[in-house]
């Protein structure tokens, strides 16, 4: 974990609300694992005050990319930064996806909803390096919510796309696309990041089919490194339920550890 108060932004791309920022951060890049995140300070002023937790999207030599959606004041300010500006960041933080050598030669499903695709690009690359066969499922509300599709395609990843309104790919939820595909596909493990209801549905499918699964959870965080106890979630541990810190124990958790909120799908 390092604090890098002046990481220079070296490239930027935007698609509507979605923003991809690349910045130089040698020490962070050397340590980062898929599923880990950084805490980025939106501005030097005292409003907004807190740093924002953002997934690491990719690592290229000595630089890191983050991909996020501008949803509030903090992420909007981060999205207004330009090439040549600096980012004040802390990272890499948290525990990422499990990448063990036993995944070699195995098919795995990587499922991302909207901005939830952020950590999964990094994961897909590491899976490929590991000798696993990742198949990516990428869904959004409309074609505008899946802007990274070409990037995966250009890099020859197997990718299935969905939009809720049918403006691109399969019409419907990415969870439905995934469920349908299980008739001809049996992944060894499922990796998911996206909206809560989507992840809950995938968890249910994984449970029913007895497939191991990992989820990257999102939370409002105060510090990002375990000091404030603000980002907790109820987890199942040895048959007991307790509030666990997402920033420190997660943000990636096993499917059977997570207690999902009862939401209508």
Partner 1 sequence: MTDLSVDLGFLRLKNPVLTASGTFGYGVEFTPFVDLNKLGGFVVKGLYFHPRLGNPPPRLVETASGLINAIGLQGIGVKRFSEEILPRLKNYETALIVNVCGEDDEEYAAVVEYLDKQDGIAAYELNISCPNTKRDGRCPALSPETTYAVVDLVKKTSVRPIITKLSPNVTDIVEIALAAQEGGSDGIALANTYLAMAVDVEKRSPKLANVFGGLSGPAIKPLTLRMVFQVAQKVQIPIIGIGGIVSGNDALEYMIAGASAIEVGTANFVDPETTTKIIQDLEIHCRKAGIQSIEQIIGTLKV
Sign of CA dihedral 68, 69, 74, 78: positive
Q: Measure the CA–CA gap between 57 and 13, rounded to whole angstroms.
A: 13
User: Which residues, at least 6 apart from 178, have a Cβ–Cβ distance to it below 8 Å?
Assistant: 109, 111, 137, 202, 205
Q: Of 59-118, which residues contact partner 1 (CB under 8 A)?
A: 74, 88, 90
Give the nearest distance from C-beta 45 to partner 1 in angstroms: 9
Q: In the complex with partner 1, which residue's Cβ is closer, 155 or 263?
A: 263
Give the nearest distance from C-beta 237 to partner 1 in angstroms: 13
If binding means CB under 8 A, how many residues of this protein chain bind partner 1? 30
Q: Measure the CA–CA gap between 159 and 234, rounded to whole angstroms.
A: 33
Start-end of H helices in the chain:
26-31, 73-79, 118-130, 149-154, 174-181, 196-209, 246-249
Q: In the complex with partner 1, which residue's Cβ is closer, 95 or 128?
A: 95
Q: Are 221 and 230 in contact (CB under 8 A)?
A: yes
230 touching partner 1, by CB under 8 A: yes
Contact range with partner 1 by CB under 8 A, out of 104-112, 148-156, 167-175, 229-237: 229-237
Q: Measure the CA–CA gap between 187 and 212, rounded to whole angstroms.
A: 9
242 touching partner 1, by CB under 8 A: yes
Q: Which of 227, 265, 186, 264 is CA-nearest to residue 93?
A: 227
Residue whose structure tokens are 């390092």: 2
Which one of 8, 217, 228, 236 is in contact with partner 1 (CB under 8 A)?
Answer: 228
222 touching partner 1, by CB under 8 A: yes
Q: Which of 222, 217, 221, 212 is CA-nearest to residue 234?
A: 217
Which one of 185, 243, 259, 263 is in contact with partner 1 (CB under 8 A)?
Answer: 243
Which one of 21, 159, 174, 223 is in contact with partner 1 (CB under 8 A)?
Answer: 223
Q: In the complex with partner 1, which residue's Cβ is closer, 3 or 83?
A: 3
Q: Measure the CA–CA gap between 230 and 124, rounded to whole angstroms.
A: 30
Contact range with partner 1 by CB under 8 A, out of 1-9, 17-25, 121-129, 199-207: 1-9
Give the nearest distance from C-beta 92 to partner 1 in angstroms: 12
Give the nearest distance from C-beta 228 to partner 1 in angstroms: 6
Q: Of 33-62, which residues contact partner 1 (CB under 8 A)?
A: 41, 46-51
Task: Give, in degrees to the nearest 5, the angle at Cα 199 between 209 and 195.
Answer: 160
Q: In the complex with partner 1, which residue's Cβ is closer, 125 or 234?
A: 234
Interface residues toward partner 1, by CB under 8 A = 1-3, 41, 46-51, 74, 88, 90, 219-223, 225-234, 242-243
């Amino acid at each position: 974990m390092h604090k890098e108060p002046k990481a220079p932004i070296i490239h930027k791309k935007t698609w509507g609300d979605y923003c991809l920022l690349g910045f130089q951060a040698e020490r962070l890049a050397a340590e980062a694992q898929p599923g880990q995140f950084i805490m980025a300070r939106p501005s030097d002023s005292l409003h907004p005050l807190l740093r924002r937790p953002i997934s690491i999207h990719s690592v290229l030599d000595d630089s890191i990319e983050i991909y996020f959606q501008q949803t509030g004041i903090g992420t909007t300010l981060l999205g207004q930064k330009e090439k040549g500006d600096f980012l004040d960041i802390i990272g890499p933080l948290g525990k990422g996806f499990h990448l063990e050598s036993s995944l070699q030669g195995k098919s795995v499903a990587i499922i991302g909803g909207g901005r939830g695709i952020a950590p999964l690009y990094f994961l897909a690359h590491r899976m490929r390096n590991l000798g696993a066969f990742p198949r990516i499922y990428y869904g959004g509300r409309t074609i505008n919510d899946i802007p990274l599709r070409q990037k995966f395609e250009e890099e020859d990843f197997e990718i299935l796309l969905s939009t809720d309104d049918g403006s691109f790919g399969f019409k419907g939820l990415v969870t439905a696309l995934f469920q349908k595909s299980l008739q001809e596909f049996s992944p060894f493990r499922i990796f998911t990041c996206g909206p809560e209801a989507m992840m809950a549905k995938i968890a249910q499918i994984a449970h029913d089919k007895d497939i191991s699964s990992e989820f990257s959870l999102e939370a409002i965080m105060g510090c990002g490194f375990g000091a404030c106890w603000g980002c907790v979630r109820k987890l199942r541990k040895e048959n007991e339920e307790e509030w666990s810190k997402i920033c420190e124990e997660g943000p990636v958790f096993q499917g059977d550890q997570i207690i999902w909120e009862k939401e209508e799908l």
